[in-house]
Structure 1
Amino acid sequence: MLTGAGHQAWFVGGCVRNALIGAPISDIDLTTDAPPERVTALAKAAGFHPVPTGFDHGTVTVVVEGAPFEVTTFRRDVETDGRRAVVAYAGSIAEDAHRRDFTMNALYADPAGAVADPLGGLPDLQARRVRFIDDAHDRIREDYLRILRFFRFHAWYGDPAQGLDPGALAAIAELSDGLETLSRERVGAEIRKLLAAPDPTPSVAAMGTTSVLTRVLPGADARALPVLVHHE
């Protein structure tokens, strides 16, 4: 649909990451140089059903035979308040990659399956190393939920034997008060995803080395972890 009309089309994020490690794929996201109006027109012309799920941010969900594909125009952040970002369209995947959270989520694959890795995410994925893109402070300030996402991604994709990135932990400890700006719903959803990992205990224990654990679960400490994980 997109490439046939002369546009770029790249699979991106979780679907690429999970395909590379043989993990289940639940959502398929694509990114393109086509603006959302063009994506919508092309989807309709192809007989698909476009849904403007995030039109103002460049996102159109294209439903193909009942399966949703989230298609987003290349973007870059121009302003953020720690909860949501004002975005502008970008011109390349290299620019688009810098607005993402972790290097392993900035992996792209073209329709033929060739992988593009503009920020070194593939070695990190292979090493089971969760690393913020560029400066961790900047990525966290863009969206404080990334603090919890860091621990969740370590629970699912990290290597407990390596431990967590010390620089990231230092940034998290410094900026953890930003969690108070987030809604309970966003925090709760992220915690549930973390606790659904096969063994979340190392990640939750690492949360206890900063003030994150007590901010999201007041009164919790390391002694509560086995009960917490079992309860979930």
Structure 2
Amino acid sequence: MGGSHEFIIPAETPWLCDSTVQRLFAAFLDAGEELYFVGGCVRNAVLGAPVSDIDLSTSALPETTMAIVKAAGFKPVPTGIDHGTITAVRDGQPFEITTFRKDVETDGRRAVVAFSKNLREDALRRDFTMNALYADQTGRVIDPTGGLPDARAGRIRFIENPHDRIREDHLRILRFFRFSAWYGNADLGFDADVLAAIADLSDGVLDLSKERVGQEMLKLLVAPNPVPAVAAMSQIGVLSKILPGADPQFLGPLVHLEEQSGTQPDPLR
């Protein structure tokens, strides 16, 4: 990573300079373990977008994480310990900390994971390059997959091979369109190779639970302008599989009405 592809989150960023967060980092570093901010908080800091949740990733195994946070004065809650996730709570503030992971088995819905000590392995199991951004306690961004230039350009790019990433979890088909609606550069359009991969594997959305599909579609539809993404979904046959009879041509007037009424899109609802 170098030159224009470097980024440091401003030191005055509230969640970065928060004393409770920095206490966590000090505890892990003193124990000889790595700890990083990861995912949405880093991506949104790069894009200048609001940050709602702080997720952390560590080289420490879950049992070690439990011990470290307890010794540092946090309450450890094993919210998803089988998958490597611990929630550290202090003064009512929860921090989700997950051990580096790698996929060992996938079925298109849920992955079986193994713990890892390697940040790059953890990055490679994620969906899009812009979601595989990490930051250390100083705000320096670590970019193992080229996510910084992609995020800045508004390019939603799967990590390595799109077919492989989609086969791991078919929900990534819907996530691609949701992220395109929120973070994509409309002038770039949709990558033809990605759309071809989605079309090839689109039957996989039929295996997803209605709850997972519904959550993704709601997040997509409250984007500032979901029309191009929904139109692309319709064009390659995804929309008819999850919402039979849906017609994207009615979305345009609805978006216009929202604009006229002053309704603001909300990425967090």
Q: TM-score, normalised by structure 2?
A: 0.83
**Residue of structure 2 in register with 1:71 after alignment:** 97
Among 36, 43, 46, the alignment partner of 1:10 is 36
> 2:248 is matched with which residue?
222
Q: How far apart, in 2, do the equivalents of 1:213 and 1:153 lie?
A: 16
Could you tell me which residue of structure 2 aligns to residue 101 of structure 1?
127
Cross-structure match for 1:133: 159
Residues in 2 aligned to 1:227 and 1:39: alpha-carbon distance in whole angstroms: 50
Give the fraction of aligned pairs with identical amino acids, expressed as a percent: 64
Structure 1 residue 91: Cα displacement: 2.2
Instruction: State whether structure 2 residue 75 is matched by structure 1 residue 49.
Output: yes
Question: Which aligned pairs between 1:180-191 and structure 2 lie closer than 5 A?
Answer: 180-191=206-217
CA contact (8 A) 2:104 2:111 kept: yes
When Rg is computed on C-alpha atoms for both structures, the one with the higher figure is 2
Measured on the aligned residues, the alpha-carbon RMSD in Å equals 1.5
What are the equivalent positions in structure 2 for 1:28-39 lying under 5 Å apart?
A: 28-39=54-65
**Match status 1:88 vs 2:114:** yes
State the Cα distance separating 1:227 from its structure 2 match: 6.0
Question: Which amino acid is the alignment partner of residue 166 of structure 1?
Answer: A
For residues 254 and 77 of structure 2, the distance between their equivalents in structure 1, rounded to whole angstroms, comes to: 39
TM-score by length of 1: 0.96
Runs of 4+ in 1 over 6 A off after TM superposition: none
1:162 aligned partner, one-letter code: L
The secondary structure found in structure 2 opposite 1:223 is helix
Name structure 2 gaps, 5 residues minimum. Answer: 1-26, 259-264
Any gaps of 5 or more consecutive residues in structure 1?
Answer: none
Q: 1:60 aligns with which of 67, 76, 86?
A: 86
| Partner of residue 113, structure 1 | 139
**1:93 to partner: Cα distance:** 1.0
Contact residue 38 and residue 134 of structure 2 kept, 8 A: yes
* Range moving further from structure 2, 62-71 or 168-177: 62-71
**Residue 207 of structure 2 aligns to which amino acid in structure 1?**
T
Give the number of aligned pairs: 232
Q: Secondary structure at the match of 1:77?
A: strand
Deviations 1:29-52 (A, max 9, x none): 111110011111111111212221
